[in-house]
Amino acid sequence: MIFRIIFFLLVYVPFMLIAIPVQAVLARFALPGWTVIPRIFHRLGAAFLGMRVTVLGKPARGKPTLIVSNHISWTDIVAVGSVADVTFVAKQEVGRWPFVGFMASLQRTLYVDRTRRSDAHRSSREMGQRMAAGGPVLLFAEGQSDVGTHVLPFRSALVGAAQHAMVEAGAGEVLLQPLTIAYTRLQGLPVSRTDRSLIAWIRSKSVKENLLEILTGGMKDVTLAFGTPHVLTAASNRKVITKQAEDEVRRRLVALNRGLPLPEFETRA
């Protein structure tokens, strides 16, 4: 804990004092290079939180891309953001969290108000515009976080909203890429079910309790497995393609939690 405090005061704080004003201008006007500072910020965040990130596969590049992923904790954002330049889709409440919401906005995070159906069109339209402009968007497709032992059903309606929005934005097709996030080791040992309360965002606990456990937890090994992208067009069956992505993420999560190899990534290598 002492190391983290020193790291925060001597490295993190000076970086933020310099980077935040610069990033505010870059993000406000969507200037080239606006993704550089968030990438550095997340890499420092990974070091601060004691996260070792392993990447299998590669994020899709060069085409409008919607990445659909399982969700375990807010540290997922730090892990993914440290290795990939993506736009995150978050619930509206995140934008109101002290500091976290401010930093999320600097990364041009898209917010969704799940309590208002009328907000769905606005948020999906923004997603479509961001993808049509070539920026990958990451959607936690379960719609909520879970402890990391299994995958909740992906919400095809969220994928469908992006599907319609990208057509409106002028993109003929979008790549739908499944991403599996797995926390595999804690302090060098395989993560047990009990350990997951120190990693996952547990809804039965207060925000303070969750933050304290995550900030004071030990070294965590995180694996990000980017699957093969699927082509999503206006004619694609959103329920079928969403279920396919969900099944892929579930299979890989089970394998990674059990310490089993993923043959498809060994073949690619």
Please report, for the domain that includes residue 246, its CATH number: 3.40.1130
Report if residue 108 sits inside a domain: yes
What gap in Å lies between CA 37 and CA 20, rounded to an integer?
9
pLDDT above 70 covers what percent of the chain?
84
Helix 156-168 with 119-132: angle, nearest 10 deg:
60
105 C-beta neighbours (distance < 10 Å), count:
15
- 36-40, 91-95, 218-222: least confident range: 91-95
Encoded tokens for 200: 């996952």
Let me know if residue 234 belongs to a domain. Answer: yes
Residues 124, 60: Cα–Cα separation, whole Å: 20
Position 18 in a domain: no
pLDDT for 245: 94
SS3 category, 201: coil
What's the pLDDT at 205?
Answer: 66
Closest CA to 80 of 230, 174, 183, 214: 183
- Residue 91: Cβ within 10 Å count: 14
Residue 42 located in a structural domain = no
Amino acid at position 144, single letter: Q
Q: What is the DSSP letter of 229?
A: -
Mean pLDDT: which of 80-84, 97-101, 220-224 is highest?
Answer: 220-224
* Highest mean pLDDT pick, 101-105, 167-171, 223-227, 236-240: 223-227
Q: Determine, yes or no, domain membership for 200.
A: yes
Structurally, the chain folds into a number of domains equal to: 1
Assign residue 91 a region (left: φ > 0; alpha: ψ between -120 and 50; beta: otherwise): beta
Q: Are 181 and 76 in contact (CB under 8 A)?
A: yes
pLDDT of residue 129: 73
> What phi and psi values does residue 5 have, to the nearest 5 degrees?
-65, -45
Distant-in-sequence contacts of 110-117, Cβ < 8 A, 24+ apart = 110/137, 114/143
With 90 as the cut, is the pLDDT of residue 120 above it? no
28 to each of 23, 70, 162, how far by Cα in Å?
A: 8, 29, 23
Tell me whether residue 233 is in a domain.
yes
Better-predicted residue by pLDDT, 50 or 132: 50
Whether pTM exceeds 0.85: yes
Residue-wise pLDDT for 65-84, tens only, equals: 889 999 998 889 889 999 99
Give the range of the structural domain holding residue 202, as residue numbers without chain letter: 49-268
Going by C-alpha positions, the residue among 165, 184, 177 that lies closest to residue 259 is: 184
DSSP tag of 197: G
| Residue 31 in this model has a pLDDT that exceeds 70 | yes
What are the angstrom distances between the C-alpha of 212 and each of 3, 10, 152, 162, 247? 16, 21, 26, 35, 33
Beta bridge mates, 225: 56, 180
Distance CA(188)–CA(219), nearest Å, equals 7
